[in-house]
Amino acid sequence: MRMRPTLSWTPTDGLRPGTTDPGPVADALRAGGVLVLSGAGISTESGIPDYRGKGGSLSRHTPMTYQEFTAAAGARRRYWARSHLGWRTFGRARPNAGHLAVTAFERHGLLSGVITQNVDGLHQAAGSEGVVELHGSLDRVVCLSCGGFSARRELARRLEEANVGFEPVAAGLNPDGDADLTDEQVRDFRVAACAECGGILKPDVVFFGEAVPPQRVARCRALVDESTSLLVLGSSLTVMSGLRFVREAARAGKPVLIVNQDPTRGDQHAVTRVALPLGTALTALADRLHIPVDGRKAA
């Protein structure tokens, strides 16, 4: 069953305002067993824009849906041209202070797990282990015909060979790794087929309008059950794929804490929302807990 895309959410009246006091988050981390759920906001300081924050990509870009991608060769050409160009920049992104702080919390035994809605692999690059990639990863490609997986870097090599001289100037980069290009710029782009069966290749990510694999949802639900609290980092929680875990934690009586500068769709379920930049907030939390981040000694 396909999920209906949800691209926007309007805050309702009566939501608790954000705070600059990270104390409740520090208390939850001290208690341990914290499950982290991260969104695009944790990667903005690495140069990857988010969808809905100030200057978010949805103000200029509508993500391609699964239905569009599978229905038309022209849509796939447009996607792969934009994604191929974006990959060159996306692939150079490096973890920021927020990712490094999450890794430090994990290594000090404060976390029960990490679920990320991001497809950038930056939690793993920062050293986090056992990360559940709710929406998949741009590092992998899957064939919709034979089901085979391959490395994105191999597809990038094949696309470079098939599109020598493809060097358009993009208007911007989006959180899903594609670049803003015009129809004219992508008109002659050549798409690569599966090297094994000639089928349609798709990045191993969950598109808007596509369902998260059931086994992955089950794994995340088990992590919620095993946790003592849920800490949301940099997500508006607009899409149900992440919001459902907030609702499940709240129903189970587990404290939900959010660090996000703007209001979120999950605020009504949270005990607090810390409205601070993630790198600043998480580094300050590490200092408060006397946990070194990336070799830096905590105060």
Cα torsion through 109, 115, 121, 125, rounded to 10: 0
Q: Does 55 count as an annotated binding residue?
A: yes
Q: Does 92 count as an annotated binding residue?
A: no
Going along the chain from its start, the domains and CATH numbers come out as 20-48+95-135+211-299 (3.40.50.1220), 57-92+139-205 (3.30.1600)
How far is C-alpha 210 from the chain's CA centre? 15
108 is catalytic: no
Q: Does 119 count as an annotated binding residue?
A: yes
The model's pLDDT over 10-59, given as tens digits with 9 standing for 90+, comes to 666 666 788 999 999 999 999 999 999 999 999 999 988 765 455 544 44
Q: Does 52 count as an annotated binding residue?
A: yes
- Residues with Cβ within 8 Å of residue 126, at least 6 apart in sequence: 95, 99, 100, 102, 103
- Residues with Cβ within 8 Å of residue 56, at least 6 apart in sequence: 49, 50
| Active-site position among 61, 135, 269, 290 | 135
Q: Which two tokens stand for residue 232?
A: 């949301």
Angle at 83 between CA 82 and CA 86, to 5 degrees: 90
Q: Which two tokens stand for residue 57?
A: 């990509």
Buried b (16+ CB within 10 A) or exposed e, 58-95: beebebbbbebbeeeeeebbbbbbbbbbbbeebeebeb
| Its pTM surpasses 0.75 | yes
The model's pLDDT over 66-89, given as tens digits with 9 standing for 90+, comes to 999 999 999 999 999 989 988 877
The model's pLDDT over 137-165, given as tens digits with 9 standing for 90+, comes to 999 999 999 999 999 999 999 999 999 98
Q: Does 185 count as an annotated binding residue?
A: no
- What was the pLDDT predicted at 173? 67
Which of 54-68, 198-212, 243-257 has the weakest average pLDDT? 54-68
Q: Which two tokens stand for residue 27?
A: 């208390």
